[in-house]
Amino acid sequence: MENLNPPPMDTEDKTTAIVSYLTLIGLIVAIIMHTNKKTKLGAFHLRQVLGLFLTAIVGWVCVAITMFVLLFLLAFLQSILVLLVPLIYFAFGLSIFVLWVMGFIAALNGEMNPLPLVGAFYQKLFSHAFA
C-alpha cells in the first residue's frame, strides 16, 4: 500500500511563506531567506504576495484617482451620491485584506492554494521570479 501522507514539511519552507505576508519588510526578509534556500512553497507564496502587493499599490492609485474625479463631479452636481464615494475605497481595501488573509492562512497551513481570481494570474505572470 502506498503512503498517502505527504513528506514532512521543512519548517524553513513554511517560515519563508509566512514571513512573506508580514508587511513589505517581511517580503524583503522572505526573499533573502528564499535566496539562501529555495523551496517550491516559498517561491509560490512569494509570487502570491508580490502580485498582491503590486495589485494593492496600482489599485490604490486607481481608486484614489477615481474617487477624486467622482467626488469632484458629484460635489459639483450637489448630489447625495457623494456619500457613496468612500464605499469604493472601503470595498477595495476590504477585498485586498480578505485576499491577504486567505494567502496567509494557506501559508500557515503549508498549502499552495492560489488566491481567488488573481492567484493563478500571479503565478503565471511571475513564473520566472523566485525559481
Residue 6 lies in a domain: no
Is the pLDDT confidence value at 3 over 50? no
**What is the domain range of residue 30?**
12-125
Q: How many domains is the chain built from?
A: 1
- Percentage of the chain beyond pLDDT 70 is 85
Residue 104 lies in a domain: yes
Task: Please say whether the beta carbons of 22 and 105 come within 8 A.
Answer: no
User: Judging by beta carbons within 10 Å of its beta carbon (0-12, 13-18, 19+), is residue 88 exposed, middle or buried?
Assistant: middle
pTM of the model: 0.79
**C-alpha cell belonging to residue 113:** 492554494
Residue 93 lies in a domain: yes
**C-alpha cell belonging to residue 121:** 494570474
- Percentage of the chain beyond pLDDT 90 is 27
**Measured at the alpha carbon of residue 45, what is the angle toward residues 41 and 46, in degrees to the nearest 5?**
115
Is the pLDDT confidence value at 12 over 70? no
Residue 81 lies in a domain: yes
Residue 3 lies in a domain: no
Residue 1 lies in a domain: no
Confidence (pLDDT) at 58? 94
Say what angle helices 23-36 and 40-76 make with each other, to 10 degrees: 160
Q: What is the pLDDT of residues 69-102, one digit of tens each?
A: 877 777 677 666 667 777 888 899 999 999 999 9
State the sign of the Cα–Cα–Cα–Cα dihedral 71, 73, 77, 81: negative
Residue 4 lies in a domain: no
Task: Give the mean pLDDT of 22-38.
Answer: 87
